[in-house]
Amino acid sequence: MKACNKNIQQTIALSAKMIALADRGDADREDTGCGILYGVLRDAGYKIRKMALIERENHRRKGVWQEDGSQPAASAAPEST
């Protein structure tokens, strides 16, 4: 996998960790200051994930995203959403 694609993949994973941490932190918080902190963390996680997914789709459309490391996604069948 190309380094640029691997970075996008890692960004998507990191955003998921941010969202999960925000959920855990919010559930365990004892004051409103922590609630604000975890709300900001959750919001940032969702924004980062959205941007990374858009970039992944851009790479797929350009034919530079390799799902399994062997073929560009452009040659594969399109996904339905």
Residue 66 confidence (pLDDT)? 79
pLDDT digits (tens, 9 = 90+) for 35-49: 999 999 999 999 999
Residue 1 confidence (pLDDT)? 87
Residue 72 confidence (pLDDT)? 44
pLDDT digits (tens, 9 = 90+) for 16-66: 999 999 999 999 999 999 999 999 999 999 999 999 999 999 999 999 987
For the chain, give every domain's residue range: 1-30+48-63
**CA–CA distance, 56 with 49 (Å, rounded to integer):** 10
Q: Which residues pair with 72 in a beta bridge?
A: 66
**Percent of the chain residues topping a pLDDT of 70:** 83
Environment class of 18 (CB within 10 Å of its CB; exposed 0-12, middle 13-18, buried 19+): buried
